[in-house]
Amino acid sequence: MATAEPPPVRFGILGCANIARKVSRAMILSPNSTIVAIGSRSLEKAANFAKNNGFPASARAYGSYDAVLDDSDVDAVYIPLPTSLHLHWAVAAAQKKKHILLEKPVALNIKELDLILEACESNGVQFMDATMWMHHPRTSKMKEFLYDSQRFGQLKTVHSIFSYNSGDDFLRNDIRVKPDLDALGALGDTGWYCIRAILWAADYELPEIVTALPDAEYNEAGIILSCAAYLHWDDGKRATFYCSFLSNLTMDISVLGANGYLRVHDFVIPFQENVGPFYVTANTKFSELSIGIDPAPSEHKINTDLPQEALMVKEFSGLVSGIKEHGSGTEKKWPTMSRKTQVVVDAVKASIDKGFVPIEVAY
């Protein structure tokens, strides 16, 4: 007799941020989730958001975030609020036993994140940040190459860039440039992805030293609009990244090993939703007369039936379902990834604030 499928995980959404349009679509596409509630400070705004984004007819709109947390039908919440509000609402959600999918950057600093993670741990709820590219099947395929001792070998260096230039209106009005809403600016938004990419390539081994590179760019309110940093490991690995709100859209990772090299040009959001390419070279030499290289770089295209954000929701919902239906424990790797990323974000910010000095990374 076939085992019955567990019921879908029922999501509530706190706020009507633009990114919530994409993630709510993912909740609808994912086979093991549904949306039952959305809350905003304006009931009308919540109702219109639900209507305009194809929510199930049964989904309830509320005029407050608290009402979503008080809804007994809500199993998990997605929180796309400004970073300055994450501590309050993530802790409140955990205390109401709601599992938490939290937009990044997850907190303004490690102290805040630890309070969130402690609330999740003490209430037995799953925590995951919404770094979508972690869930694309391309990501695990690329990791297979990095683990290949013959074709890639010892990791030597990583470089990552995530930048975009959204124009004057963004630079004047977006929450990501407001000190009371998202005080980390580009470091918290695009830098989060670069740092995660570096840690991913280094198998989440933290660097010993982080040094921000002169000079960061700021707006009039003192918010970082672009910055770069150097990460150093005592075993000789090193990495750099550049993140910006002032440069053309670029989403690159380059990973160099003793025997091979990997690059990807769209790691944050694939250029095409259903396929993710990456490029590798292995054991490369100059050809005869140095008029080329051998072997030539190879392109790998990884197809996916669901977009990466829907795979993220599916993974998260599977963990929540295991806890609900089978009493499984929470999966610890996701909060650990978040915490390590936040620790490096904090170190870069400290280096910038102290005049671009080296900072020891403390975990």
Pairing assessment for the beta strands 155-165 and 246-257 based on DSSP bridges? antiparallel
**Which tokens sit at 66?**
């608290």
Q: Exposure of 326 by Cβ count < 10 A (0-12 exposed, 13-18 middle, 19+ buried)?
A: exposed
Active-site entry in 104, 314, 340, 349: 104
Provide the 10 A C-beta neighbour count for residue 169. 8
Decide: 10 and 78 in contact? Cβ < 8 Å.
Answer: no
The pairing of strands 209-218 and 33-39 is unpaired
Residue closest to 105 by CA, chosen among 190, 165, 45, 166: 190
Alpha carbon distance 203, 271 (integer Å)? 25
Evaluate whether 248 touches 164 at the Cβ level (below 8 Å). yes
What does the alpha-carbon distance between residue 182 and residue 244 come to, in Å, rounded to a whole number? 15
In angstroms, the CA 315 to CA 313 distance is: 5
Total length of the chain: 363
Q: Which two tokens stand for residue 112?
A: 């805040």
Stretch (H or E) spanning 171 = helix 168-173
Residue partners of 361: CB distance under 8 A and separation at least 6: 206, 207, 208, 209, 210, 343, 344, 347
242-262 burial by CB neighbour count: b if 16+ within 10 A, else e?
bbbbebeebbbbbbbbebbbb
Give the list of residues 6+ apart from residue 147 with CB closer than 8 angstroms, or none.
Answer: none
State how far the alpha carbon of 206 is from the alpha carbons of 151, 306, 313, 349, in Å: 24, 32, 27, 16
Per the annotation, the verdict on 104 as an active-site residue is yes
Q: Are the C-beta atoms of 246 and 225 separated by less than 8 Å? A: yes
Pull the structure tokens for residue 337. 């990834």
**Residues belonging to the active site:** 104
